[in-house]
Structure 1
Amino acid sequence: MGDPGRATDEDRLARAGGDADGRDDRPLVEPVPDAPAAVADLGGETGLLLADYHAGIEAGLRYERGVELDSAADERRERVLDLLARTGADRLVVLGDLGHRIGGAGDAETEEVEALLSAVGVPVTLALGNHDPGLADAFGDRIEVTPPGGARLGDVGVLHGHTWPAPAVLGADVVCMGHEHVAVRLEDEVGGGRAEKAWLRGPLAREAFAAAVDLAGVEWRDPELVVFPAFNDRSGGTWVNVDGQGFLAPFLPDALAGGEAYLLDGTRLGDYRRV
């Protein structure tokens, strides 16, 4: 089973801090085994990156769909704390949609985020997502919030993905995003199927941004795009290998023409369109 985070060409190995002889060839962004989160070298800091936390989702599902579910806020928080302990990360980076409610932060969201921020013990960066403006207003003095187009942390670009990336993000070596809630549909020998969370990774295609992002001042470094699965288990997902379930980001799928899918345990599935 291959390492979904390991680059193979000399240039990317060098940018990740190693060389073609295998010396210190650790990737800039490496998924945590069996978790919808990754560790990233942010240049002087180690970041724990995750996407689509969707605090307060149970209250949202009750209001939006009439679905009654007990809150899993404590379980979500404990999963984050466990990952921070396992990885020794210096910073928590949420790739958008820390909250669930659009248009303002509700009580369930603010209570859950307050408890999370009080527990993590490390600085928190939020790449602003389409669900986040209310939380950004409520917690902006305690969270570093990026513009909607994201920001660059060391050699890693971070954004949610609901808008076009900022030029600086595209000048990074690796670009990380959420928003898509990536999942794949897998079938067994008798026709049964199940959905599994998945990562998408592959070269970022410059031409996909030519008409929408001013790249004149960007040093293009042939970045890799990493599309994260959703951290929240109740937020649903888009089956990227099923016809009719299109992407949400304005630059996908064009920007990831050569992307491959990986399960959370690192299993490489190959071209995500042919899984």
Structure 2
Amino acid sequence: MAVVEPVPGDPAAVADCGDERALVVADYHAGIETGLRYERGVELPSDADGRRARLLALAEQVDPDRVVVLGDLVHRIGDPGADERDEVGALLDALDARNLPLTLVPGNHDGGVAAAYGDRVDVADAGGYRRGDVGFVHGHTWPDRSVLGARTICMGHEHPQVRLEDEVGGGRAEKAWLRGPLRAEPFAAELGVDPAALAWPDPPPELVVFPAFNDRSGGTWINVEGQSFLAPFLPAAVAETAEAYLLDGTRLGAYRRL
């Protein structure tokens, strides 16, 4: 079994961290409906209960020791507003009832989470968090060097998705996973060292870019020409052999050839 194994049909995975199993999701974006209302004038009813129910159902299914969120637990940048506080509070209450701790690798939307929930959420360093053979990052900053030594690195931030078209020009968007080996050279350049100094493992670390858990957060089209990635180390750091997969496990092949 892979160190990080997606849950078929869901934007979530189980990570084997050696001493424990973690249920891993990315980009929860609690309170997104309030953000969409003020940012874009889009009125949508809150799906807070639905998001919480989905996460709890996954926890029931895979029986983890911990939940890890790969950044953007909340949608509002800065101090969480009332909607974010209510949604995250209800989620934490439900996890506490199941004795499930939550670790957050903070993303670019999580600036106020430590102050708001620091006594209930294990907030990691923004440069990443490593447990056993698995590293966890959000992806909006360069990972800490210690995280790069992990066998598998889980990342959010991008919300990868693919556009699928049929023979008559119809199309639809699908959430996707992006998985592939990491190249040492961009990280060495950022750190100002020779690539050999990183003692890059053989085989190289695998990067697993998670689809967004939130269904309303949009994403990066990884198979549309001209689409830019958000992470400062992508696409340079991921090998051209990196592959895309749909949530149901369908292998689409090398993402650059889709």
Range class of TM-score, shorter chain = over 0.9
What CA distance in whole angstroms lies between the structure 1 residues aligned with 2:94 and 2:227?
37
1:225 counterpart residue number: 207
Checking the alignment, whether the CA contact within 8 Å between 1:97 and 1:132 is kept in structure 2 is: yes
What CA distance in whole angstroms lies between the structure 2 residues aligned with 1:118 and 1:154?
28
TM-score in terms of structure 1 length = 0.88
Q: 2:210 corresponds to which letter in structure 1?
A: F
Checking the alignment, whether the CA contact within 8 Å between 1:110 and 1:135 is kept in structure 2 is: no
Does 2:174 align with 1:196? yes
Q: Shift in Å at residue 244 of structure 1?
A: 2.5
1:117 to 74, 88, 92: 92
Q: Shift in Å at residue 208 of structure 1?
A: 1.7
1:18-167 mapped onto 2 (5 Å cutoff): 26-120=1-95, 121=98, 122-167=100-145
What CA distance in whole angstroms lies between the structure 2 residues aligned with 1:67 and 1:268?
34
Checking the alignment, whether the CA contact within 8 Å between 2:79 and 2:116 is kept in structure 1 is: no
What CA distance in whole angstroms lies between the structure 2 residues aligned with 1:180 and 1:97?
11
**Alpha carbon RMSD of aligned pairs, Å?**
1.2
What CA distance in whole angstroms lies between the structure 2 residues aligned with 1:243 and 1:107?
39
Q: Shift in Å at residue 214 of structure 1?
A: 6.4
What CA distance in whole angstroms lies between the structure 2 residues aligned with 1:30 and 1:190?
35
What CA distance in whole angstroms lies between the structure 1 residues aligned with 2:213 and 2:125?
21
Does 2:245 align with 1:262? yes
Q: 1:155 corresponds to which letter in structure 2?
A: D
Give the aligned length: 250
Q: 1:243 corresponds to which letter in structure 2?
A: E
Checking the alignment, whether the CA contact within 8 Å between 1:163 and 1:249 is kept in structure 2 is: yes
Give deviations 1:237-265, integer Å, cap 9, x for gaps: 11111122210000000111221000000
Does 2:255 align with 1:272? yes
What CA distance in whole angstroms lies between the structure 1 residues aligned with 2:29 and 2:197?
35
Which of structure 1's runs of 4+ aligned residues deviate more than 6 A? 214-217
What CA distance in whole angstroms lies between the structure 2 residues aligned with 1:219 and 1:113?
40
CA, structure 1 residues 217+153, in 2 after alignment: closer, same or farther (shift >3 Å)?
A: farther
What CA distance in whole angstroms lies between the structure 1 residues aligned with 2:190 and 2:207?
18
TM-score in terms of structure 2 length = 0.94
What CA distance in whole angstroms lies between the structure 2 residues aligned with 1:218 and 1:243?
32
Q: 1:228 corresponds to which letter in structure 2?
A: F
Checking the alignment, whether the CA contact within 8 Å between 2:160 and 2:212 is kept in structure 1 is: yes
Q: Shift in Å at residue 217 of structure 1?
A: 7.0
Secondary structure of the structure 2 residue equivalent to 1:158? strand
Does 2:222 align with 1:245? no
Checking the alignment, whether the CA contact within 8 Å between 1:37 and 1:48 is kept in structure 2 is: yes
What CA distance in whole angstroms lies between the structure 2 residues aligned with 1:78 and 1:196?
22
Q: Shift in Å at residue 147 of structure 1?
A: 1.2
Give deviations 1:19-53, integer Å, cap 9, x for gaps: xxxxxxx1110000000000001121100000000
Q: 2:28 corresponds to which letter in structure 1?
A: Y
Checking the alignment, whether the CA contact within 8 Å between 1:168 and 1:218 is kept in structure 2 is: no
CA, structure 1 residues 86+173, in 2 after alignment: closer, same or farther (shift >3 Å)?
A: same
What CA distance in whole angstroms lies between the structure 2 residues aligned with 1:176 and 1:269?
20
Larger mean CA deviation between 113-122 and 156-165 belongs to: 113-122
Listed as ranges, the gaps of 5+ residues in structure 1 are 1-25
Listed as ranges, the gaps of 5+ residues in structure 2 are none
Q: 2:248 corresponds to which letter in structure 1?
A: D
What CA distance in whole angstroms lies between the structure 1 residues aligned with 2:123 and 2:153?
17
Give deviations 1:151-198, integer Å, cap 9, x for gaps: 111110000000000001100000000000000000011111111000
What CA distance in whole angstroms lies between the structure 2 residues aligned with 1:67 and 1:52?
20
